[in-house]
Homo-oligomer: A and B are copies of this chain.
Amino acid sequence: MTIKDIAKEANVSAGTVDRVIHDRPGVSNRTKAKIQKILDKHNFERNVLASTLAYKRKYTIALLIPYFCSDRDFWYEPNKGAGLAINEIKSYGVVTHRFYFKMQDLESFEKAQAQILALNPDGVVFAAFFYSSSLEFIGALKHRKIPFVLINIDIESQGNLTFIGQDSFQGGKMAGKLLSLNLTKNAQVAILRSRNVNNHNAIDARIKGFMSFFSGSKHLGFSFTEIYFDEFSKEKTAKVLLGELEQNKSIQGIFVPSSMAFHVAEFLEEHNLEEIRLVGFDAHVNNLKYLKTGTIDFLIDQDPMEQGYMGVKLMFEFLLFKKRPRKIYNSAINIVTKENSEFFRSPKAVEGIEV
């Protein structure tokens, strides 16, 4: 059933049918009703391919995420997912420009923002690092009426099309449960956190969720201590941990509410402290290494590839097909252990295919 068929049945031209389908002005009510009736009768759905081709409109999407050095880094994955989506939608006349900034470098973030505003894209997908700078960027986007999608890091702002990321509180609660499985009663647990971090909110929420798991009566015996770092790096981690663990020999479990558990694991292995139980976030290659040796017991993964993929894909569907996404897409809370470290994400249909 094509527009032509409908037109013939209604004794009008294809152009008129098209006007009715898209509710464009310039059709008499009488004709409109007649055509609509036939459309409904046949349950007409227009051919999206032909439609897209005829529209001729080109769309530009900008993606802004942290720079990554190798495929072992967290942000490699969202970038990969975005790449899959970009590839899928390019036939539809969508060109996606990718911008990267350095995670510790506000200037690089703002430079990328300026470039994006200069590009004046039809939509923006980004990770809201640097709280106040992100808010300004959002202000500029809203002013220009450019729709935007947030991935990975939420920010209490209005007007984003959707947010795609993990529920941090639930993730933290999950971490609490997992750590508890390997601890005996009355264990002492250390929570490790860095002072120099951009997404305080997510870290705080994870810790709140973590503590909430132990608030039930079952785990009254546990005690907790927070250990602060200036930043996560091999040397600094070692220095602080040496002091703390020396001072407090009864620490049996460590919770790292960020993706930096591998630094801790490296330290534990070097000091033969593998019996300390360790739970962290994000199953990137750096962390997986220590999951496999058993020094990290559990990782909680959020399928970052999917975040990149969906960010771009949902923006595309909004721009071309006016499909408005839900306000929030909760990423997976995947539990990763030695046993499923090869199988903790669904294999994506779009990858791994040779032409």
* Interchain CB contact (< 8 A) of A345 among B50, B167, B332: B332
A133 within 8 A of B: no
Q: Is the CB of A303 within 8 A of B53?
A: no
Which of A122-130, A226-234, A263-271, A306-314 lies at the binding interface?
A306-314
**Which partner residue on chain B sits nearest A177 by CB separation?**
B339
Residues of B near A331 (CB, < 8 A) are 343, 346-347
A325 within 8 A of B: yes
A47-B91, A164-B347, A346-B346 known, 13 other contacts, Cβ within 8 Å: A48-B91, A166-B343, A181-B182, A213-B339, A306-B346, A314-B349, A322-B355, A323-B354, A326-B352, A332-B340, A332-B345, A333-B343, A335-B337
Contact A313 to B349, CB < 8 A, known contacts A174-B340, A340-B170, A340-B174: yes
The complex places the Cα of A82 from the Cα of B259 at a distance, in Å, of 35
Contact A339 to B181, CB < 8 A, known contacts A322-B355, A349-B309: no
A275 within 8 A of B: no
24 pairs, A vs B, C-beta closer than 8 Å = A45-B90, A48-B91, A166-B343, A170-B339, A170-B342, A170-B343, A173-B339, A174-B339, A174-B340, A181-B182, A303-B346, A306-B346, A310-B349, A326-B353, A330-B343, A331-B343, A331-B346, A332-B344, A333-B340, A333-B343, A334-B334, A334-B344, A335-B340, A346-B346
Query: What is the total number of copies of this protein in its complex?
Result: 2
A36 within 8 A of B: no
Instruction: Return the CB mask of A286-318 against B: 1 if under 8 Å, else 0.
Output: 000000000000000001001001100110010
Contact A324 to B353, CB < 8 A, known contacts A170-B340, A339-B174, A340-B170: yes
The complex places the Cα of A322 from the Cα of B112 at a distance, in Å, of 39
